[in-house]
Amino acid sequence: MPSLGQVLLEDASGPVYPPPMINIRDLSVRCGRCMNFMTLASYAPRDGWNAYTFECETGGCDPAASRTVVEVPIERDEFAQKHPDCGGSCGTR
Ligand SMILES: [Zn+2]
């Protein structure tokens, strides 16, 4: 994919759209074993990515075994940009 700079140089007349943002709160993460919604348990910035760890807390599944990590590119992570300090622990969007 061409960079935004290349797009501007090659087609200055067309509309330029910002890359779509991803909000982790818009995703539905379900446990693949019991199909219950999983709970956001922790958040950790990594190299270029924000890693969100989800756990199944129904009691029927071992949280350690069903744990799921969802990674979002930092520059497209709307949720992290709204919550730079808490990493989402404040519970709001
Ligand atoms: Zn489960």
The per-residue pLDDT for range 43-75, each reduced to its tens digit, is: 898 999 999 999 998 888 988 888 999 999 999
Residue 57 alpha carbon to ligand 1 centre in Å: 7
* Whether pLDDT at 87 is above 80: no
Distance 31 CA to ligand 1 centre (A): 5
pLDDT at 60: 86
Q: Report if pTM > 0.75.
A: no
* Rounded alpha-carbon distances, angstroms, from residue 44 to 1, 4, 29, 31, 47: 28, 28, 17, 20, 10
pLDDT the model gives residue 2: 57
In sequence order, the β-bridge partners of residue 77 are 22
Report whether pLDDT(1) > 80: no
Give the distance (Å) from ligand 1 centre to CA of residue 41.
14
Distance (Å, whole) CA 9 – CA 76: 23
Q: Nearest Cα to 40, choosing from 7, 79, 10, 75?
A: 79
CA 43 – ligand 1 centroid, Å: 20
Q: Which residues pair with 31 in a beta bridge?
A: none
